[in-house]
Each structure stands twice: as structure tokens, then as C-alpha cells.
Chains A and B, each alone.
Chain A
Amino acid sequence: MSMVQFEQVGKRYASNRDALSNVSFALNKGEMAFLTGHSGAGKSTLLKLMLLMEHPTQGRVLINGHDLSRLRRQAIPYHRRQIGVVFQNHQLLFDRSVHENVALPMQIAGYSTLDYTRRVKAALDSVGLLHLEHCNPIELSGGEQQRVGIARAVVNKPALLLADEPTGNLDPELSAEIMKLFGLFQQAGTTLLIATHDIPLVERMGKRRLILNHGRMTGDIYGR
């Protein structure tokens, strides 16, 4: 079964601008794919539809076989708990430590401190930031903040990981490292969809590539 399935999805904003039109694709469980395209091509909108931050004006989006349009409002939080998400602007909270930021999804899901402390440390270790766990994220560099965001996205071991320009603030070396990390998540069974315009990096990874152009899917290239 597909983890992600888009069926003739269209999204038109109130201003009559089509952000997405007639987009169809499917991602299998455990697959890793990149979403590329110029800025404004609709990459972020596509990710937002999966998180129910936006709703399609046409077509259906299915995650793990569930039609998102049928989800009641109260069920949205539980839907989002299955998806780890990394945004370019990190969305970290500066009133708490790095550790507490990463622990947030676990806390929300109802785990006790005892249950999640080790998981949080493991997630921070995987992005190489365990030594900074007691810092406030505001003291961290852009790249470090980005990696804290990634740790928070994976701490809950989500079945699906979405990332919007996760390497936007990082130098090439660090970007490569993050990509390697994503590759490890894939090996552990996670499905990944990563939006980026860093084409050389994508080409080096040799994974499947979905190309958006002005809201239409103009390419679906399978890697090696």
C-alpha cells in the first residue's frame, strides 16, 4: 500500500491563483523522494496539504490509505502525530532548552519524562547535538537549529517524514551530512519526502525526484 497518495489534487487560493493543479503521485512505504521545482512552484503547499494545514480544492489526498478530507477536526492532532516535519524556519521555541524542544512531541503524545528522556537523547545524538541539549536554541547557529528541528521531527519515530528546504541554511558539508541522516531514517523504514531546490545535492543522492512547475507535476524521475 502507498504511504502517500495524491489523486488529481488541485489547490486554488482565494485570490484565484492555482498553487497546485491536477497533481497525482504515490509514495510507497519506506520510499525516499525529493520534491523539486522553482520557488513558488507549489512545494510547500503540497507538504501543507499532507499536514492538513491547507485543504485541497480538488481531488483527494490519502495518507496510509486514509482520505484526509474525511478526517474530523478533532482527529487532526492525532493525524499530525504520525508525521514528522522539518521546516526551513525551524519553528523552535526559545523559552525552553533544546532538550525540551525535542521532547515536545513525546510530551504531547502522553509519554512520561521517564519514557522519553532516552529517546530525546538518542534523537539529539543522531543529529550530533547531544552536547548542546541544555542550551537554549537561541544560542545555536542556524545549522544547529535546523538539526534540532530534525531531531524533534524524528523523536516520535514517525512513519512519514516531511521536510521543507531542510538544508536551506546549511553549508554543503553539513547538507550532505543531513542527507546521509535522512538515508539512515529510510533504512529504518521511514517514508521521506524532502522539498528542496538544491539540485546538485539531489542528483548526488540518486533518489526518486518529483518535479513541480507552476503547480503542475512535470516530472517523476526514478533514481538509480
Chain B
Amino acid sequence: MADNDIQASGASYHTLTVRDRLLNGLAHHQLVAVETLLKLLAKPMASLLTWLVIAIALTLPGALWMSIDNLQQLSSSFQSSGRITLYLSETASIQEGQDLSQRVLTLPNVRNTQYISADQALEEFQTSSGLSDALVMLTGNPLPAAILVEPPLGLAQHEIAELLKVLKRYQLVEETQLDLVWLERLQAILVLSERMVMVLGGLLALAILLVVGNTIRLSIAARVDEIQVIKLVGGTDAYIRKPFLYTGIWFGMIGGLMAWLFLIMLWAVLNGPVTQLATLYGTGFGLRPVSATAASTLILSGMVLGWLGAWWSVSRHLHEIEPQA
């Protein structure tokens, strides 16, 4: 490089070794990181809008993802009890029903059976539906007796169909119902929603890039003088870029932290009603809080997007600024 021989002509020049340069470079990174963060925190109102936009853009897919995650958890707990209900004819006596329940239990691919008499069914319905007052007015019991048949876990679809065929042959069985079709539908809806979250997430990521890029563009415009002087005294593009990149990273990180906070608040607001609803349906389901993995993913993607947005903005505008005299 040209500077070596030219510097040699200067008198007592303290030259830098590679190690010096590395260590000093690291120290400068630290310095710039802290300085840019302090600058942002010193005037929080100035960048609050940007932080909020980033936070909201991260909260939306985060919240959707959280709901899908919870629904998946819910559906998997249903899957384990994907059971068959046999509705018995009205003429069947309690004794006949209980006998049938015992016989079904001896069939292959049946893990457990439970006989529910018409009276039991009505009682259960009264307590869980909240319609007890209306039901009192009925003269008779409209509900049939039923047998719940629970196949073993992980039974293949065709085996379940086979079992259904066998069960339908019993004379006492009026109707069979497999609680699986709606599960499959739920699964399909969940897959679809996951896709939608991905698309939405992509769009919102683009929005974050644009917002950070624009904010950085403004701060570049506010520091044109400084950039000109730095270029004049020999600052490289990397040196000039550094504070802006750190600013972008901090924007993303603060936005991500705020999004996390929003999700925790959302969870706190929704968990009560959801638990209550679940109790009404007779399950002990509660909303899962935002996991540490999800939170760090949120913050990390904020930081990466902030950095990318800043990089995009700086590389677009840096070349336009040249030193003036």
C-alpha cells in the first residue's frame, strides 16, 4: 500500500501491528455500539414512532403464531382421544347396553369403552351446557344412550374404518360417529394459517426494512457534514457505515423487546377468558405463554431486519456524499 512508504518519510511514526488494528477495531465497535445506543436512549421520543412500528409489525405475526401454536397443542391433545361414539336405539335397555359395551371391549383395536345411559347423558348435558332450566321443561329424555369407544393411540385411518364397519353391524347401534373429520379439517386450517402467517410475516418484514431504511436515511441526511469530514480525513465506507448499522440493530432490538412485551400483555389479557372457556368445555386447557425461544426469535429477527434496513439505506446514500471544500 502506498501509505507505508509515504509514512516512512514522516519522523517518529508509531506504526500499528495487525494485532493492534484488530484490538483497536474491536474497541471501536464497542465504543460505537454504546454511543449509538446512548444517543437513541437520550432522545427516546424522537425514535419512539419507529420503535412502535417495528414492535407492531413484529407483534402481529407473533400473536398469530402464538394462536396457531396453542391450537396445535389443543388439537394434539384431542387427537389422543380421537374416539368413536355409538348411539344406541331407544329400545335398548340399560342391561343390554352394558353388555354390548363389554363385548365391544373384547374386539381388537379397542382400548376402552364406556357406557353412558340416556339419564347420564341428560345429566351431563344439563351441567355442561347451562341449559338446565330449559331442559326441565321437557317431558321426556330426547337423548339416546351411547357407548364411547376409544381406539388405541396412533391407529391408522383404514383400521379405524374397519372398526367402524364392525361396530355398525351390531343391531343395537343406531348410528356411529367418528370424531376425526373435524380434526382433519382443523389440521388443514392450521396448515393454511401457518402459510398465511408466513406471507404476512414476509410483508411485515419488508415494512420493517422500509421503516428502518427511511429512519436511517433521515439520520444520514442530518449528518452529511460529519460524513464529508470523515471522508476528507480518510474514513473508509465501513467506518462511516458502522454507527448507522448499529443504530439499525438497536432499533430492531428495542422494537423486538417491545413486541415481546405486547405479546406478554396479550397473553395476560386472553389467558383468563380462554381458561374459563376451556373449563366450560371440560378441558384444563390454558394459553401457553410466549416461550423463551419465541421471544428470542422475535428479538433476533428484529435485530437482523434493523441491520439489513440500515445497510440497504446506507449503501444507497453513502456514495452520494463526497467531501466539499
Q: Is the CB of A104 within 8 A of B230?
A: yes
Q: Tell me, in angstroms, the Cα distance from A77 to B325 when the chains sit together.
A: 17
Q: Is the CB of A64 within 8 A of B2?
A: yes
CB of A157 closer than 8 Å to a CB of B: yes
CB of A188 closer than 8 Å to a CB of B: yes
> Chain B interface secondary structure, helix, strand, loop or mixed?
helix
Tell me which of B1, B9, B230, B322 contacts A108 (CB under 8 A). Answer: B230
CB distance from B272 to the nearest CB of A (A): 50
- A-B pairs with beta carbons under 8 Å apart, 21 shown: A63-B2, A74-B237, A77-B236, A78-B1, A80-B232, A80-B234, A85-B232, A85-B233, A87-B325, A91-B225, A93-B226, A95-B226, A105-B234, A108-B230, A108-B234, A108-B239, A112-B24, A157-B7, A157-B11, A159-B7, A190-B10
Q: Is the CB of B229 within 8 A of A81?
A: no
Q: Is the CB of B234 within 8 A of A109?
A: yes
Tell me which of B16, B237, B323 contacts A53 (CB under 8 A). Answer: B323
B interface footprint on A144-183 (CB within 8 Å = 1, 0 otherwise): 0000000010000111100010000000000000000000
Q: Is the CB of A110 within 8 A of B233?
A: no
Chain B interface (Cβ within 8 Å of chain A)? 1-3, 5-7, 9-14, 16, 20-21, 23-25, 27-28, 225-226, 228-237, 239, 322-325
Determine the chain B residues whose CB is within 8 A of the CB of A47 once the complex forms.
325
Q: Is the CB of B6 within 8 A of A82?
A: yes
CB of A111 closer than 8 Å to a CB of B: yes
Tell me which of A66, A74, A108 contacts B233 (CB under 8 A). Answer: A108
Q: Select the residue from A78, A82, A189 with max chain B CB neighbours within 10 A.
A: A82
Determine the chain A residues whose CB is within 8 A of the CB of B226 once the complex forms.
93, 95
Q: Is the CB of B27 within 8 A of A51?
A: no
CB of A107 closer than 8 Å to a CB of B: yes
Determine the chain A residues whose CB is within 8 A of the CB of B10 once the complex forms.
157-159, 189-190
